[in-house]
Amino acid sequence: MLEDEKLKWQFKCGSPQALARIYEKYVDSLLTLAMGLLNDASEAEDVVQDVFVGFARSANGFTLRGNLKAYLTTAVVNRVRDRIRREKRRSTGRVEEPSAVAQSCGPDEQLVFTEDAGRLSEALTELPHEQRETIMLRLKGNMTFKEIAKIQGVSINTVQGRYRYGLQKLRARLNGEVEK
């Protein structure tokens, strides 16, 4: 945490090294969070890229007193919500266009993950977004229920309920694996 305090100050003073360090430190956990919420590699990359670009531009007005990781995590959550809202509007408005042909690119150009991670991310998409978000913030953002309640604007009891029901559904979805 002390390192983060120092990085925050250096970043505010315009240090590219500090920004690079913050990026290196958190990019993978933010990508994991975004993938858990979206289950779409290219969307997840865009979200995390947007968050870092926004963060990079915020140095002048940057007055973060709290936890840097929580700040970036919340930024990812907000951007994911924005995308989902936009997507809903788009999908109700018109017939979807065929998706662009995927460009072939090497593994270095992509997200790296195990088959397991891909499967878990897919299982998470079957949960309602609120439950998925709660589980990801708790397990991957290491947030307390109180912090999650604040982000979601609901009571702690509601958050705990979302978490419990979400895990139960995942358990059913991953049944064979969990029972072993």
Work out whether 28 is an interface residue with other proteins (CB under 8 A): yes
- What's the first-to-final CA gap in the chain, in angstroms? 37
Query: Among 4, 8, 32, 143, which residue sits at the site for other proteins (rule: CB under 8 A)?
Result: 32
* Residue type for position 134: T
Nearer to other proteins, 32 or 74 (CB): 32
**Contact, 68 vs 138, CB < 8 A?**
no
Query: Among 19, 64, 70, 154, which residue sits at the site for other proteins (rule: CB under 8 A)?
Result: 19
Which two tokens mark 118? Answer: 């891909």
Q: How many CB atoms lie within 10 A of CB 71?
A: 18
Work out whether 125 is an interface residue with other proteins (CB under 8 A): no
Work out whether 37 is an interface residue with other proteins (CB under 8 A): no
For 134-166, b where at least 16 C-beta lie within 10 A, e where not — what string?
bbbbbebbebebebbbebbeeeeebbeebbebb
- Given the rule CB under 8 A, which of 27-35, 64-72, 96-104, 151-159 is the region that contacts other proteins? 27-35
Q: Give the contact letters, 57-96, x = binds to other proteins (CB under 8 A), - = no.
A: x-xx------------------------------------
In the complex, least distance from residue 70 CB atom to other proteins, rounded to whole angstroms: 18
Output the CA–CA distances (angstroms, integers) from residue 65 to 4, 6, 71, 167, 180, in the order listed.
11, 12, 10, 33, 45
Binding-site ranges for other proteins (CB under 8 A): 3, 12-14, 16-17, 19-21, 23-25, 27-28, 31-32, 35-36, 41, 44-45, 48-49, 52-53, 55-57, 59-60, 106-117, 119-121, 124, 135, 139-140, 164, 167-168, 170-171, 174, 176-180
